[in-house]
């Protein structure tokens, strides 16, 4: 990876990488194709999950700009907010989180990621869903307030899904190519890469990485919010921004270079159906791997449903990115209890 041909921007080493690529043997035999898990849930403890790969690049820029505090935003139980807080604490930076809750006057108790945010020293500003629509404006005003105290702030949009953040998953594809080289068939065997899609930066980086490295891979995002049209546009925008900013010499065509598999949002963002939780339970018991209810559980639910309809839908080899989110199970304890 040191002699990489890709023009990486400066990066901090914050994630435990390379992460393992592990076969899901029993599930593969049941569903048909070979399914491998890229264990990005193992990128660390406090910083676990996919966001830290993006933050390695984003926080390098923050330090380079002389920032003292990082401001970011997300849902109340945001994994991105928790990973950002942990990384900031490691780097000696302040962290201010702008978090969306139904009623800012009655914020949720410190549980799961909120508990970790608090432990790690985040300042939390609670805002309503309506205010969240203007999150960019709110973050800008928070930055101005910090500037008046003499503290330079660095702003990270939702999920760290910017052209710079996408480098985290370009780099993950390069890492994956190294993993595949060790397997029968190597990097020349066609594969399908599947990932849960929330703010879009992971899928953007995966699409760019596959294109830049010329891997024979389909890239499929399974959206956990909004719809296909939204993500074709949003992920396309991040990709074209990165191609332009870093002069990558590639063009990502939405729908061709990456696909969005819609239909598995279920009851809504971060709301679980019993069938989705039952799949998380079954996979835990059969493979000893725990998915999360908000992202990977829904995406794997979608993957399994498609493979049941057509075992050949994604070819003979599938790499499913386990993007983390274990803490998301704790707020679901009540609902889970009924199926344990």
Ligand X SMILES: *Cc1c(COP(=O)(O)O)cnc(C)c1O
Q: What is the DSSP letter of 101?
A: -
Instruction: Decide: is 200 part of the binding site for ligand X (CB under 6 A).
Output: yes
94/159 with CB nearer ligand X:
159
Q: What sign for the dihedral angle of Cα 318, 322, 328, 330?
A: positive
Is 57 near ligand X (CB under 6 A)?
no
Site for ligand X in 143-182 (CB under 6 A): 159, 161
| Residue 79 makes contact with ligand X by CB under 6 A | yes
Specify whether 78 is catalytic: yes
Q: Of 4, 28, 78, 128, which residue is the catalytic one?
A: 78
By beta-carbon proximity to ligand X, the closer residue of 53 and 317 is 53
Q: Which two tokens stand for residue 39?
A: 């264990």
207 binds ligand X (CB under 6 A): no
293 binds ligand X (CB under 6 A): no
Q: Which residue shows structure tokens 């190519």? A: 177
Q: Is 19 in the site for ligand X (CB under 6 A)?
A: no
Query: Using the 8-state DSSP alphabet, how is residue 274 labeled?
Result: H
Q: Does 324 bind ligand X (CB under 6 A)?
A: yes
Round the CA-based radius of gyration of the chain to a whole number and report it.
19
Q: By CB under 6 A, is residue 85 in contact with ligand X?
A: no
196 binds ligand X (CB under 6 A): yes
Contact flag: residue 223 with ligand X (CB under 6 A) = no
Instruction: Give the pairing type, strands 317-322 and 34-39.
Output: parallel
Q: Cβ closer to ligand X: 19 or 161?
A: 161
Euclidean distance between CA atoms 21 and 248, whole angstroms:
27
Nearest CB to ligand X, comparing residues 49 and 236: 49
Residue 292 binds ligand X, judged by CB under 6 A: yes
**Between residues 21 and 326, which has the closer beta carbon with respect to ligand X?**
326
**Is the alpha carbon torsion for 93, 98, 54, 77 positive or negative?**
positive
Cβ neighbours of 340 (radius 10 Å): 7
Closest CB to ligand X among residues 231, 314:
231
State how far the Cα of 248 lies from the Cα of 213, in Å rounded to an integer.
11
With CB under 6 A as the contact rule, the residue among 44, 49, 163, 254 that binds ligand X is: 49
Please state, in angstroms and rounded to a whole number, the distance separating the CA atoms of residues 32 and 22: 17
- Report the half-sphere exposure of 35 (CA within 13 A, side-chain side): 24
Q: How far is CA 42 from CA 96, 238, 324, 333, in A?
A: 25, 26, 7, 22
Nearest residue to the partner ligand X, using Cβ: 325
Query: 291 by DSSP, 3-state: which?
Result: coil
Closest separation in Å from C-beta 185 to ligand X: 27
Residue 18: is the preceding peptide bond cis (ω within 30°)?
A: yes
Residue 94 binds to ligand X (criterion: CB under 6 A): no
Query: Under the criterion CB under 6 A, does residue 201 sit at the interface with ligand X?
Result: yes
CB of 321 to ligand X, least distance (A): 8
Binding site for ligand X (CB under 6 A): 49-50, 79-80, 159, 161, 196-203, 292, 295-296, 323-325
Q: Return the active site residues.
A: 78
């Amino acid at each position: 990876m040191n002699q990489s041909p890709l023009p990486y921007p400066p990066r901090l080493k914050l994630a435990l990488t390379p992460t393992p690529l592990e076969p899901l043997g029993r599930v593969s035999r049941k569903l048909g194709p070979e399914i491998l898990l890229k264990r990005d849930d193992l990128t660390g403890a406090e910083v676990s999950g996919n966001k830290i790969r993006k933050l390695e690049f984003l926080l390098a820029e923050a330090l380079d700009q002389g920032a003292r505090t990082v401001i970011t935003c997300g849902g109340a139980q945001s994994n991105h907010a928790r990973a950002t807080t942990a990384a900031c604490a490691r780097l000696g930076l302040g962290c201010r989180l702008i978090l969306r809750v139904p009623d800012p006057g009655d914020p949720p108790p410190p549980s799961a990621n909120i508990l970790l945010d608090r432990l790690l020293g985040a300042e939390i500003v609670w805002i309503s869903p309506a205010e969240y629509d203007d999150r960019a404006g709110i973050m800008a005003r928070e930055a101005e307030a910090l500037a008046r105290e003499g503290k330079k702030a660095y702003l990270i949009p939702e999920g760290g899904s910017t052209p710079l953040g996408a480098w985290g998953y370009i780099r993950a594809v390069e890492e994956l190519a190294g993993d595949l080289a060790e397997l029968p068939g190597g990097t020349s065997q066609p594969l399908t890469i599947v990932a849960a899609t929330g703010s879009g930066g992971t899928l953007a980086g995966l699409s760019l990485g596959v294109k830049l490295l010329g891997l024979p891979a389909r890239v499929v995002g399974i959206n956990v919010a909004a719809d296909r049209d939204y993500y074709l546009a949003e992920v396309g925008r991040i990709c074209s921004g990165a191609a332009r900013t870093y002069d990558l010499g590639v063009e990502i065509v939405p729908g061709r270079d990456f696909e969005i598999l819609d239909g598995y949002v279920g009851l809504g963002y971060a709301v679980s159906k019993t069938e989705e939780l039952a799949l998380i339970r079954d996979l835990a018991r059969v493979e000893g791997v725990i998915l999360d209810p908000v992202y990977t559980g829904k995406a794997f639910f979608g993957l399994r449903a498609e493979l049941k309809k057509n075992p050949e839908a994604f070819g003979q080899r599938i790499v499913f990115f386990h993007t983390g989110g274990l803490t998301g199970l704790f707020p679901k304890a009540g609902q889970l209890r009924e199926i344990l």
